[in-house]
Structure 1
Amino acid sequence: MKYRIQHNTRYHYSLPVSHCYNLAYVLPRATERQRVEDIKITISPKVSGHTQHTDYFGNHFLQFAIEKDHSELDVSITSELLIKENTHNINLDFGTPCAYVKYLLQNSKDWETLSAREFMLDSPMVQQHADLADYAAPSFANDRPFLSAVLELTQRIFSEFVYDPQFSDVATPLADVLKHKRGVCQDFAHLAIGCLRSLGYPARYVSGYLETLPPPGQEKLVGADATHAWFAVYSPGEGWYEFDPTNNTLTGSQHITTAWGRDYSDVTPLKGVIFGGGLSPQLSVSVDVQRIPEDVIQGL
């Protein structure tokens, strides 16, 4: 499948901003199932300069500065990319048992496994805690296939937690999410990561987009899509697998990856430093994920 993604971010300030310096994680990354075809970047007002870099985790990010007075900042990213469809079903009821996964994580000298172990550590927004381990533990019997246990954890978060955009923001503690059983996709990804790390397994945060489809007979609304988040877990010898607890599924061809890291703080879509601007700038974000018809992409 080929997608065109339009991601627009606008800040409106109550007072002029004299300088701003920004990092933007809004450039889709190339993966085994995802190929980036084109990216167009439009920033207003005119920037002093922008450059693209690759971070420690292999993500591409945009760095730019504006060094003149402005009351609004508009960042528009248009991306086109090809996504491989899932061509086979994965049976998670067969695979490495939980106890042996832990053994391999501690004893394997395989480079991929050694690299994955850093995702067992605490990160700024996800710290290990006994309450998280207690919540997840019933799914992770020693002799149970590990990926099957992760799928059950995903299903439990989906069924036991309420999606509530009014409950949380980026600063809401994970303990509050667990206590009140409410949150959004970012919270549910952090919760699953915290549970897995608290049990001694590596897990990372994945940001991106999810194509949404309108009800039958209705047109898709402009800006109806949104940024999305899910998590990936590593099993030695089996690799990384991605799960979406907000939608109770493994990721598929409608999940489009932008970046991954330890948690949200590593891959914030837009962050930086401003001088001026007043209090409480107004933020608006619009995302459109458009599927390009097959007859357009034949021959690619």
Structure 2
Amino acid sequence: MLLRILHKTCYEYQIGINLAQHMVHLTPVDTGSQQVQAHTLTIAPEPAARSQTVDVYGNVRTFFSLQAPHETLTVEADSLVQTRPPRPLPDSPAWQATTWEAVREHFRYRAQAPYDAASEFGFSSPYVPRDDAFAAFARPAFAPGLPMLEAARRLMERIHTELKYETASTEVNTPALEALKQGKGVCQDFAHIMLGCLRSLGLPARYVSGYLLTQPPPGKPRLIGADASHAWVAVYCPRPEGDESMAADGADSKGIWVDYDPTNNNCGWGSPGEDYVTLATGRDFADVSPMRGVIQGGAQHTLEVAVTVAPPDEIAALQEA
């Protein structure tokens, strides 16, 4: 599936800003399930300095600084991404027999244990603490002896079923424990809650930011800017010892990451579905926020964000209308 993503961020400051430095994660990455065909990032006013780097998690990030007074800031990302359906999950007996307890033991500290980079995603992070409340919520999904990937799927279904998706019910900095306690939130909250549940059981998982192709209500046209960013979770399952069944099919020497979207109850190896686009991955939202920075000047501002995800011909027709 070929998708075009328009992501526009506009700040209007009540008092002019003298200096500003910003970091953005608005460039999709190439993965086994998607390839970036084209990407442009337009910034106005023109930055005095701008650079692009790849962070420790493999995300493309852009830094820019504004060194002259300005009253508005507009950042527009325009991406064209070719996506593929998720790959079939491993079906060998060794993979199916990998229980969640075995994965937990794999990451339990022991002297001279082989290093696994996924272990970093088992610790607390700025937005996601390890807490008994998360573990208690997760336990009904983690029956003894259940395969790791099946247990993660059941947790995803539990969050999707028992928590209510409600726009504006939380803020970007609402603690995940508070969202769990109130029983509602948005996709960022659902992702943080699932991360907290997994990590509190000793299982590594990472936060994924991106986009999802949505359909307008029946009888309504698609509107430019009516979509939003999305977030979900990727769960790690180490390769069973001695098993090479997936060596030629995208699994690295250590294991695989399988994506779970508790907001929409979708999952798959590589992405939750062909209609998803991965933007960046990290420990939680703090690592991959679309835009953050520091400013010198007025603090009062208004913010508008407009996202459009659609096949490129649909967007072209809307822009011409």
Same fold at TM > 0.5: yes
Say whether the 8 Å CA contact 1:132–1:195 is kept in structure 2. Answer: yes
Say whether the 8 Å CA contact 2:234–2:258 is kept in structure 1. Answer: yes
How far the C-alpha of 1:292 sits from its partner, in A, is 3.6
Unaligned runs of 5+ in 2: 240-254, 314-321
How far the C-alpha of 1:105 sits from its partner, in A, is 2.9
Say whether the 8 Å CA contact 1:105–1:236 is kept in structure 2. Answer: no
1:169 to 1:90, Cα distance in 2 relative to 1, 3 A: farther
Q: For 1:74 and 1:46, locate their aligned partners in 2 and report how far apart those are by CA, in whole Å.
A: 10
Q: What is the identity, as a one-letter code, of the residue corresponding to 1:98?
A: W
Q: Which residue of 2 aligns with 1:245?
A: 262
Give the secondary-structure state (helix, strand or coil) at the position aligned to 1:26. Answer: strand
1:88 to 1:129, Cα distance in 2 relative to 1, 3 A: closer
Unaligned runs of 5+ in 1: 294-300
CA RMSD of aligned residues (A): 2.1
Q: Which residue of 2 aligns with 1:260?
A: 281
Q: What is the identity, as a one-letter code, of the residue corresponding to 2:19?
A: H
Say whether the 8 Å CA contact 1:71–1:277 is kept in structure 2. Answer: no
Which segment drifts farther, 189-198 or 92-101?
92-101
Q: For 1:203 and 1:23, locate their aligned partners in 2 and report how far apart those are by CA, in whole Å.
A: 24
Encode CA deviations 1:271-297: one digit per residue, 9 max, x unaligned: 001111232x1000001112146xxxx
How far the C-alpha of 1:102 sits from its partner, in A, is 1.9
Q: For 1:89 and 1:170, locate their aligned partners in 2 and report how far apart those are by CA, in whole Å.
A: 33
Q: For 2:168 and 2:219, locate their aligned partners in 1 and report how far apart those are by CA, in whole Å.
A: 30
1:269 aligns to 2:286 (yes or no): no
How far the C-alpha of 1:104 sits from its partner, in A, is 2.7
- Counting aligned pairs with the same residue, the percent is 39
Q: Which residue of 2 aligns with 1:158?
A: 160
Encode CA deviations 1:178-206: one digit per residue, 9 max, x unaligned: 11101110000000000000000001000
Within 5 Å, give how 1:192-211 maps onto structure 2.
Answer: 192-211=194-213
How far the C-alpha of 1:109 sits from its partner, in A, is 5.8
Q: For 1:150 and 1:180, locate their aligned partners in 2 and report how far apart those are by CA, in whole Å.
A: 22
Q: What is the identity, as a one-letter code, of the residue corresponding to 1:96?
A: T
Q: Which residue of 2 aligns with 1:283?
A: 303
Q: TM-score, normalised by structure 1?
A: 0.91
Say whether the 8 Å CA contact 1:230–1:243 is kept in structure 2. Answer: yes
Encode CA deviations 1:39-93: one digit per residue, 9 max, x unaligned: 1111111111211111111100010011111111000011111111236477799
1:94 to 1:73, Cα distance in 2 relative to 1, 3 A: same
Q: What is the identity, as a one-letter code, of the residue corresponding to 2:258?
A: Y
Give the secondary-structure state (helix, strand or coil) at the position aligned to 1:124. Answer: coil
Which segment drifts farther, 188-197 or 100-109?
100-109
Count of residue correspondences: 291
Q: TM-score, normalised by structure 2?
A: 0.86
Q: For 2:59 and 2:206, locate their aligned partners in 1 and report how far apart those are by CA, in whole Å.
A: 13
Which consecutive aligned stretches of 4+ in structure 1 deviate over 4 angstroms post-superposition?
Answer: 87-93, 107-111
Say whether the 8 Å CA contact 2:81–2:277 is kept in structure 1. Answer: no
